[in-house]
Amino acid sequence: MTYDKIDRFLMVLIVFFSSWLLCSGSPYRPEIKAFSGWGPVLPGVTGRIIMEASRDAGVPYDVGLFLALAESSGDPIVTKRVPGGRGVDQGIFQLNTRWHGDFVWRFNGGKPFSPLDVRDSAWIAMRYLAALYREFGSWRKALEAYNAGADCVRSGEIPKSTRNYANWILNGGF
């Protein structure tokens, strides 16, 4: 195993066990069981926000959680410039600036949002992912569309890196 894989494995274990300790006996335990078999959460407020946004949008909680980990490693203020002048990915769910206007109208009732605010970002990302699920009929295809774009999924030209991304999320970080 490489150090990168070991670090990732340890991060997932820490998230899982800290979540289990934090959620045992809490009012959040029933919701977690409803969304997944074991239901890891990010410690503190961030995990609760993702859980609420996932529940409200009808997205499995573990998919929402691992999407945040895949996109930003759980960092709510990270920004990354996309190569080729295709905008900037922002926040915990890496919402691209090219699509902010669309997100405002489709998922936020015309109200502006801050992609660097965990609540706003989770709200938009979970609704967007749910819309992709309704369009494509599977969480795998919805995640591939979230990562590479819906046109790639429609055409069947999905990059290997995107397939790996979806597998990582659906397999709980492994």
Each residue of 141-152: pLDDT tens digit?
A: 999 999 999 999
Each residue of 61-83: pLDDT tens digit?
A: 999 999 999 999 888 999 999 88
Model pTM greater than 0.85? no
Full domain range(s) for residue 25: 3-170
Reference 93, options 154, 8, 169, 5; nearest CA is: 169
Domain at 41, CATH number:
1.10.530.10
How many independent structural domains does the chain possess?
1
Each residue of 39-53: pLDDT tens digit?
A: 444 557 888 999 999
Mean pLDDT of 153-167: 96
pLDDT, the chain, mean: 82
What is the Rg, in whole angstroms, of the alpha carbon atoms belonging to the chain?
16
What local confidence, expressed as pLDDT, does residue 45 receive? 84
What is Dmax (Cα atoms) for the chain? 49
Q: Which residues make beta-bridge pairs with 96? A: 89
